[in-house]
Amino acid sequence: MILPRAMNASPILLLTLVAHLLVPAGCTSRPERDTPMGASGPQREQAGAESGKRAPHTRTFDAEGRLLPSDEYIVGIRLPRGAELHREDGVLHVYRIRAPIDKVLAYFGPMMITGNVERRGTGAVYKQASVRGAEVNPTKVDVSILEIGSKVTRISVTELPPPSKYAPSPEQTKAAAKAAFRTLD
């Protein structure tokens, strides 16, 4: 066999050419197309079963960008989707949610019945509030909604003790106040 002049001069070039022709036929760095991560046999079936078990992604916001309610309640308050329990200690329940504070305030504001709302930075604290819709023996709560990071909001719900059985009636309180004002004159 007569090789071209360049091939006679370089046996290394000949070996390189043969290697390039033979290697791609036997191995490839690409995984099989039909299998996840190049798995085969039982691994392929297990990976397929696991992907079928994954829960579908639940939406947190509706089409208008408002928070959607979840199925979880705390002290009569229906929490929004995405709220995760951070800490719970008796009457204190602290949640965190990945949502802008204005969206969280827009969710909770209409459901809180109170005349005492304190603004704290971009957040708010609803003091001695009742929950709209919890007509049967409503528990009074303090609800604070505060921004703790970029698009992370803290929701804190504190259950307040019920009023004392021996608390004076509104008429008794007014009469006591009038008597106190008369002594000041």
Does any domain span residue 79? no
Does any domain span residue 49? no
Query: What token pair was written down for 53?
Result: 């078990």
Does any domain span residue 97? yes
Q: How many domains does the chain have?
A: 1
- Owning domain of residue 145: 92-159
Is 120 in a helix, a strand, or coil?
strand
Do 112 and 126 touch, CB atoms closer than 8 A?
A: yes
Does any domain span residue 24? no
Would you say residue 172 has pLDDT above 80?
yes
Does any domain span residue 185? no
Q: What's the pLDDT at 6?
A: 47
In angstroms, rounded to a whole number, what is the distance separating the alpha carbons of residues 94 and 110?
20
> With left for phi above 0 and alpha for psi between -120 and 50, is residue 38 left, alpha or beta?
left
The percent of residues above 90 in pLDDT, for the chain, comes to 42
Does any domain span residue 36? no
Do 94 and 156 touch, CB atoms closer than 8 A?
A: yes
- How does the average pLDDT of the chain come out, rounded? 77
Query: What token pair was written down for 105?
Result: 């305030």
Do 58 and 80 touch, CB atoms closer than 8 A?
A: no
Does any domain span residue 116? yes
Does any domain span residue 177? no
